[in-house]
Chain A
Amino acid sequence: MGETTVHWRRGELRDDGNGGWWRELADAGALPRGPRTVVHLPARLRTPVVVATMQSLVRFLRRDHARAVAVIARGFGADACAGAELLPYSIVGASLVESPRLWPGTPIADVWFEPVSLITIAGAGPDPRYRIAGVLAANAELLSSAAGLDLDLALEAHRLLAPDLAIACGSVGGDTWQAASTSDVGLDRALARAAGIDPSTLPIVRHLRSHEVLEPGERDAGDPIPRLAGLAAPAWRVRVSRAGARAAHTCDVATTDLRTSIANLRRIPQFVARRSPPWLRLRGAGA
């Protein structure tokens, strides 16, 4: 497993007719090559910069990259999708995928059973649950109907729906910036470095590390890395938030266990009936 590359860019994305930064990413092999691309626009931190980045990307993919593009975005108008199809966020009829961390599983919408490529474009900001809400946190929105701790949702989203290209963007001191990587973990770690904190202190990185071997590190390319001061929440707020979430989750699990136990007890009469000899099953025969 080698280093991944994080492509940085500073300044507004301008449509120079040549694809600009998107062309650079395509030439670097970072843009997915599949026939159909779904661009995920999370609801959280959906700033004008994020929307503009999405629109610029969609225009490039449709015009220069000849790809079928759809946008998946909760609470978003189809008219703002730069001509791409807007997919419903609904998980009605979704399949439940077994998950080691989420009970009873993770509802997965039909589209994720298709051969699609996923690009997630997320705003980045401080968050008491993740310390930095970046792409990993943003992608967990795709599983928001599952019940579980935020970090477990993010883990499952990373396991099942890791984007082929992760993009984070924002503005600092009036200057916009974008960062892109084929690794969602690599991008979040790069954001932590830009925010001046040790990436290994991100709760989601620690959580992922206990489940899989992470890439050794990431290499920066492109424009100079912006100083993203204030992007990370204080460590004490993260600890308090996690303790509260754990307590609430424990209550939920206890309630579910109780319901399941009651349901199992109700199965006992049928279980006994199935295994009883016929004379016992039809008591009263011959009466």
Chain B
Amino acid sequence: MRRLRTAVVGCGAVSEIYHLPAVARVPAAELVAVADTDLDRARAAAARFGATVAVADYRELPDDVEAAIVATSNASHAEIACALLARGTHVLCEKPMATTAADAERMIAAAGRGKARLMAAHCRRFNPNVAALRALVQRGVLGDVRTISAALGGKYGAWPQRTDFRRQRSLAGGGVLVDIGTHLIDLALWLGAESAVVESYVAADALGWGIECDADVTLRFAGGERALLSCSYTHAVNRTLRVEGSEGWAETSVDGSETVMLFSHRAMICRRAGAQALRLTEADPYERQLAHFIKAILEDAPFIVRGEEVVAGLRVIEDCYRRLENAA
């Protein structure tokens, strides 16, 4: 089996807990190098996960690296990804792929100029429960989509993180909306339609960090359907993803979960017994994401996460921020 020589750029919590173990588990990936501005950390990660090269600067990655996972602070994604794409390295870039739509377009253009390809790491699409929910929508089991609601977040610091970049607008590109809300916006556009307009945006800097720490967005799609999205750094939210359609509803966790609850007037299985729990085998979304990324590269197949979708999501975020500025 052909294995893609892979590097990981940025050895923070997301790499250490998810990306590096995923590289180790995906048979088509071979970890050859890691990069981190903290060279000691890069060396430790290399030793632990079996990379032969550890560097402090991504520009020093060996020439034979074929693919790289970029998992650095949000605002650095565009610069790093463009440089890697320019040297012919395929890039799987952590979310948000960029902090502005213009940067995202620049990255897509950089990929278009050469043979290297770019995919945004919207890992939640790769949770089997989320994929199953989308399959129900696509198959029309729920009828016409009317409302998508999703929430994500928790007390800041409740999840592992190495640096505090999310509190700094210059590094994060914004607050909770761009960092966590980007997941929800991506899922809404994936489940609903590729383009939507912001109907309302409410945000609060409850922690006084100069960024929004709570954000609620309502999107309206061309067909009139709505997405109600809520994300927070201040309190635990229910972390659910729910789609209501003309014929039924389905609900699951935004995180990995072994079940999707379904009720559909159309489905025979709900006719007598009402709502049913569809049971899935939980799988690591990072592993599935990386396996898909590499397979698509090796087979020259399309990515599940398309560049246009990412740009559309970033436009939504920009529109939200613009509304807030205008209101101020």
Contact = CB atoms under 8 A, between A and B. Distances in A.
Contacts of B13: 278
B277 A98 contact: yes
Interface stretch (B180-188, B235-243, B261-269, B295-303): B261-269
Interface string B257-295: 001000011111101110011111000000000000000
Contacts of B207: none
A108 interface: yes
A97 B276 contact: yes
B157 interface: no
A77 interface: no
A105 interface: yes
A96 B44 contact: no
Given A282-B45, A287-B44, A114 B276 contact: no
A282 B277 contact: no
Given A108-B269, A159-B272, A286 B277 contact: no
A282 B41 contact: yes
A104 B259 CA distance: 12
Contacts of A105: 279
A134 B260 CA distance: 33
Contacts of B11: 282
Nearest to B42: A285
A286 B273 contact: no
A274 interface: yes
A169 B140 CA distance: 36
A112 interface: yes
Interface residues of A, number: 29
Contact of B268 (A95, A161, A270, A282): A161
A235 interface: no
A113 B264 contact: yes
Most central of A113, A273, A281, A286 by chain B CB within 10 Å: A113
B83 interface: no
Nearest to B268: A112
Given A281-B16, A287-B44, A98 B266 contact: no
A284 interface: yes
A161 B269 contact: yes
A115 B132 contact: no
Contact of A273 (B17, B136, B139, B277): B17
Nearest to B38: A285
A25 interface: no
Nearest to B11: A282
A274 B13 CA distance: 10
Nearest to B139: A113
Binding site secondary structure of chain A = mixed
Given A274-B17, A284-B47, A285-B44, A116 B268 contact: yes
Contact of A114 (B17, B268, B273, B279): B268
Interface string A88-103: 0000000111100000
A221 interface: no
B43 interface: yes
B16 A97 contact: no
Interface string A172-203: 00000000000000000000000000000000
Interface string B83-110: 0000000000000000000000000000
A266 interface: no
A160 interface: yes
A113 B269 contact: yes
Interface in A48-101: 95-98
Contacts of A161: 268-269
Nearest to A276: B160
B2 interface: no
A160 B44 contact: no
Contacts of B21: 270
A204 interface: no
B319 interface: no
Given A282-B16, A284-B47, A115 B279 contact: no
A118 B272 CA distance: 13
Contacts of A118: 268
A165 interface: no
Given A96-B278, A113-B266, A114-B266, A284 B48 contact: yes
A96 B276 CA distance: 10
Contact of A112 (B17, B44, B267, B279): B267
A162 interface: yes
Contact of B48 (A98, A270, A282): A282
A282 B46 CA distance: 10
Interface string B17-36: 10001000000000000000
Contacts of B141: 113-114
Contacts of B136: 113
A284 B44 contact: yes
Given A115-B268, A281-B16, 4 more contacts: A95-B278, A98-B278, A105-B279, A118-B268
Interface of B: 11, 13, 16-17, 21, 40-41, 43-45, 47-48, 132, 136, 139, 141, 160, 162, 259, 264-269, 271-273, 276-280
Interface of A: 95-98, 104-105, 108, 110, 112-116, 118, 159-162, 270, 273-274, 278, 281-287
